[in-house]
């Protein structure tokens, strides 16, 4: 085990992150290395971003070619990899059209704007309200933090943007309050990631979707953490038999190169017209090359099926871990997005895993350890993770 050094805080950086005392300088597959040569098993995947592992060769090769051709030209011109990526996403989803941006927050901003413009321009109503849910997380811009159903995210940023209403998650009775004459859309995660790795109840989602359809309001799924194979299907909505109107994507779409997107059906997409929305960097040649290489490899190499099998294996092993240690209260999640609900402070376990077992994990709230291996991890690496966690809990 390498000796860990504690990096000094950089006074020029705003203190917006509680950084781990670790400096990572290299990554490959499921592994990362610090500046001393210490090697760590990374079951964070850049917060569900490095779905093909660190520095995947297939994406790297395409990016190296693009670096010699064109980095940026703006959306005033046609961009071939952007158009190819949009075609790939449409072909493999419910949708008809795609808008590209730079991040998950921007993708949810685009979804919010699309929903309001659909209600007001296409339908000719004054509806502008979007329903979200308690413990949700949709981003940190002024609009997306207002959409987020967590007070701790919103603290200090009043007045919040208007037009959002929160209902309890997985509460069937509360669905009676879903629609008012102001409601234009619903935005939800099918597994709440930051909110505690909480999957949506199947029957609850079916009832919610039916209400949206009956009332002509858009059903928008935040797939930023759950999309691109993370939960065992290319998109989580597939496991619920849904036909959403809009989904938002980011994280795993670009293998770590910043990219975001929304996919919409034609009904919703018609709300956008030239000049109604845009992005200087969104969909640039470099980021969409990364996205195209990532999604092409995932689909052509059967990575989603592999992720589903590995997710089942991981879940089985986690339930075995729970049987050994009473401080583990619950295992919940889907695919390779799993949460270990513990007694006490989850960060204590994450710290022990890093310091004593050279294993990197995250939390999802005060009492949930979040487990996010790459989709390309192996059963052997999952076994190594479980062995390390046995030592963490035994200590």
The answer to whether residue 198 scores a pLDDT higher than 70 is yes
Q: What is the pLDDT of residue 10?
A: 78
Q: Which residues contact 316 (CB under 8 A, 6 or more apart)?
A: none
Residue 14: what pLDDT? 94
Could you tell me if 79 and 288 are in contact, meaning their C-beta atoms sit under 8 angstroms apart? yes
Mean per-residue pLDDT for 200-209? 98
In the block, residue with structure tokens 């991890």:
377
In whole angstroms, what is the distance from residue 119 CA to residue 128 CA? 7
Domains, the chain, ranges and CATH? Answer: 24-42+304-394 (3.90.1150.10), 57-300 (3.40.640.10)
Phi, psi of 53 (to 5 degrees): 80, 180
CA distance 342 to 351: 14
Q: How is residue 296 written in tokens?
A: 């092409």
Closest of 386, 2, 52, 106 to residue 228, by C-alpha:
52
CA 50, 251, 237, 84 torsion-angle sign? negative
Residue 309: CA atoms inside 13 Å, Cβ hemisphere, count? 9
Give residue 6's pLDDT band: very low, low, confident or very high (50, 70, 90).
low
Looking at residue 5, its pLDDT comes to 54
Cβ atoms of 229 and 252 within 8 Å: the answer is yes
pLDDT at 8: 63
What pLDDT, in 10s, does the model give residues 55-83?
Answer: 999 999 999 999 999 999 999 999 999 99
Task: Name the packing angle between helices 303-324 and 285-300 (round to 10°).
Answer: 80
Residue 75: DSSP 8-state = T
100: nearest Cα among 336, 358, 279, 307? 279
User: Each residue of 155-165: pLDDT tens digit?
Assistant: 999 999 999 99
Strand ranges inside 152-200, DSSP E:
164-167, 183-188, 191-192, 198-199
The verdict on whether omega for the bond into residue 159 sits within 30 degrees of 0, i.e. cis, is: yes
Q: Please state the rounded mean pLDDT for residues 358-378.
A: 98
In the chain, DSSP finds a helix count (H) and a strand count (E) of: 12, 17
Residue corresponding to tokens 């075995």: 320
Does 7 score more than 90 pLDDT? no
Q: What are the pLDDT digits (tens) for 252-283?
A: 999 999 999 999 999 999 999 999 999 999 99
Q: Where are the beta strands (DSSP E) in 154-203?
A: 164-167, 183-188, 191-192, 198-199
Residue 224's pLDDT band (boundaries 50, 70, 90)? very high
Give CA–CA dist 49/260, Å, rounded. Answer: 11
Q: Is residue 191 a contact partner of residue 226, using CB atoms and an 8 Å limit?
A: yes
pLDDT over 90 percentage in the chain: 97
Average pLDDT over all residues of the chain: 96
Per-residue burial over 166-201, b if 16 or more Cβ lie within 10 Å, else e, is: bbebbeeebbeebbeeebbbbbbbbbbbbbbbbbbe
Two structure tokens written together for 332: 């919940």
Phi-psi region of 271 (alpha: psi -120 to 50; beta: other; left: phi over 0): alpha
Band of pLDDT at residue 1, cut at 50, 70 and 90: very low
Give bridge partners of residue 63 from the DSSP assignment: none
Tokens 């018609």 sit on residue: 270
109-132 pLDDT, tens digit each: 999 999 999 999 999 999 999 999
pLDDT of residue 11: 87
For residues 80-90, give the mean pLDDT. Answer: 98
């Amino acid at each position: 085990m390498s000796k860990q050094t504690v990096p000094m805080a950089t006074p020029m950086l705003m203190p917006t992150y509680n950084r781990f005392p670790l400096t990572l300088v290299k990554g490959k597959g499921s592994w990362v290395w610090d500046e001393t040569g210490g090697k760590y098993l990374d079951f964070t995947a850049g917060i569900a971003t490095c779905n093909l592992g660190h520095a995947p060769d297939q994406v790297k090769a395409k990016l190296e070619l693009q670096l010699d051709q064109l980095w940026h030209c703006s959306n005033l011109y046609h961009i071939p990899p952007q158009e190819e990526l949009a075609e790939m996403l449409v072909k493999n989803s419910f949708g008809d059209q795609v808008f590209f941006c730079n991040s998950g927050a921007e993708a949810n901003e685009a979804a919010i704007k699309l929903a309001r413009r659909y209600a007001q321009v296409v339908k000719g109503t004054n509806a502008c309200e979007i329903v979200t849910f308690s413990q949700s997380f949709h981003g940190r811009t002024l609009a997306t933090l207002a959409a987020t159903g967590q007070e701790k995210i919103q603290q200090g940023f009043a007045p919040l943007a208007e037009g959002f209403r929160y209902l309890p998650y997985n509460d069937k009775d509360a669905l009676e309050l879903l629609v008012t004459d102001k409601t234009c859309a619903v935005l939800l995660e099918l597994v709440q990631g930051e909110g505690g790795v909480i999957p949506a109840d199947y029957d609850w989602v079916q009832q919610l979707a039916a209400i949206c359809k009956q009332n002509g309001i858009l059903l928008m799924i935040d797939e930023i953490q759950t999309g691109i194979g993370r939960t065992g299907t290319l998109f989580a909505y597939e496991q619920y038999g849904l036909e959403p109107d809009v989904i938002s994507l980011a994280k795993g779409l670009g293998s770590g190169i910043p990219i975001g997107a929304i996919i919409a059906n034609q009904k919703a997409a018609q709300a956008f017209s030239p000049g109604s929305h845009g992005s200087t960097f969104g969909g640039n040649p470099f980021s969409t090359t990364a996205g195209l290489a990532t999604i092409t490899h995932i689909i052509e190499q059967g990575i989603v099926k592999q992720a589903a099998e590995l997710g089942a294996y991981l879940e089985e092993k986690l339930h075995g871990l729970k049987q050994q240690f009473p401080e583990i209260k619950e295992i919940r999640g889907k695919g390779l997005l799993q949460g270990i609900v513990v007694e006490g402070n989850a960060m204590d376990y994450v710290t022990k895993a890093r310091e004593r077992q050279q294993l990197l994990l995250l939390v999802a709230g005060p009492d949930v350890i979040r487990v996010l291996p790459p989709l390309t991890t192996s059963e052997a690496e999952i076994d190594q993770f479980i062995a390390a966690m046995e030592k963490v809990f035994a200590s």
